Amino acid sequence: MEPIKTVINKGKYKFQITDNTLEARGQIYSRNFRIGGNYADCINISISYKNNNLDSASIPHIIYDPDCSIDNKLDHGQGSIIMIKTLLEYLHKQLPTISEINFEDKSNIECATEDDLRKGSRTRKRGTHVYPISLYYFSIAFNGKTWYEKHFNARQKDIHKHNAYRERISQLLDSKEFKSTTTFIEFLQMAIPAQPIVDELESYYNVSDTFGEFFQSIPKQERCRLVGGWISTFMEHHLKDVFDNKYWIIELPLSIKGGNRNTRKYYCPKGRIKHYKSYKNFGVGVDDV
């Protein structure tokens, strides 16, 4: 069967989805959906069949690149979100029995300031950095939720674990008692930040009633430098028994619910989002279709 190519317009964006079905002797044994633009197929969903029935599906990789959109002059960050939603909506229309997409959150971001991005690595001033950090932990600290929670209403597959995680986040970021009983020395023992930034961190720490206020008090242009190097260590210390980035789901059809304990605008540092996973970044199991 020849691949079916469908062009879909989403506002200022235009995407092409390629549906490639493989069959033999009248039975489908593999199906593949690709979405991308004029340079690379940025997201790829591969679906396998058994006895002509859906068996499993996975996204081997996610690559965010400006060329994900056919018009590569458009903003790649927002375009990537729309691109994923477009593919998931298309997949649900084609295969409505798929109710869950399982995935591993391997999101990282090349954390940078406006100055870093403008000057480039060769002229970057001493003391600033552009390096990959864990986006899910960074986002939890500054937004109270991961990137996938924000944009796709994702959750951990184990609902009991997810509820415990949400309760822990509320305590960690909002509880004055929790913050007041954690001395700055205890914080240093949990986070293990680099010595040169300790004094700066203390100045923000001492004027904050909660950890949420502590994170928000750090100026946006300083967050990568002052937080990026230790946020994973800090979050792992507090969330290790309630958070696992390996077992998450996005429910289909997409239902992005409104309402959130945090009404401020979602914050993401400047830099390109990457999802480091070479195989089965997303997947849907036989029990989920």
* Tens-digit pLDDT string for the chain (289 aa): 788 999 998 888 888 898 888 888 888 888 888 887 544 446 777 787 888 788 777 765 565 444 444 554 445 456 778 888 898 999 999 989 888 887 888 888 887 655 555 555 443 443 445 568 899 999 999 999 999 899 999 999 999 999 999 999 999 999 999 999 999 999 999 999 999 999 999 999 999 999 999 999 999 999 999 999 999 999 999 999 999 998 888 888 987 655 444 557 899 887 767 765 443 344 444 444 4
223 falls within a domain:
yes
Domain residue limits at 171: 105-246+269-276
Same domain, 65 and 167: no
Query: Is the CB of residue 256 less than 8 Å from the CB of residue 149?
Result: no
Q: Does residue 226 share a domain with residue 125?
A: yes
Whether 259 is in a domain gets the answer no
**Do residues 77 and 140 both lie within one domain?**
no
Pairwise CA distance, residues 108 & 274, whole Å:
5
* Whether residue 51 sits in one domain with residue 167: no
Q: How many domains does the chain divide into?
A: 2
Q: Please indicate, yes or no, whether residues 56 and 111 belong to a single structural domain of this protein.
A: no
- The residues, ordered by sequence, that sit 6+ positions from 181 with a Cβ below 8 Å of its Cβ are none
Q: Both 109 and 234 in a single domain?
A: yes
> CA-CA distance, 270 to 32, in Å (whole number)?
33
Domain closes at, from 76, 98, 120:
98
Q: Is the peptide bond before 193 cis (omega within 30 degrees of 0)?
A: no
Phi and psi at residue 243, to the nearest 5°: -130, 130
Does residue 261 sit within a domain?
no
**pTM score, whole prediction:** 0.81
Of the residues 98, 113, 146, which one is the last residue of a structural domain? Answer: 98
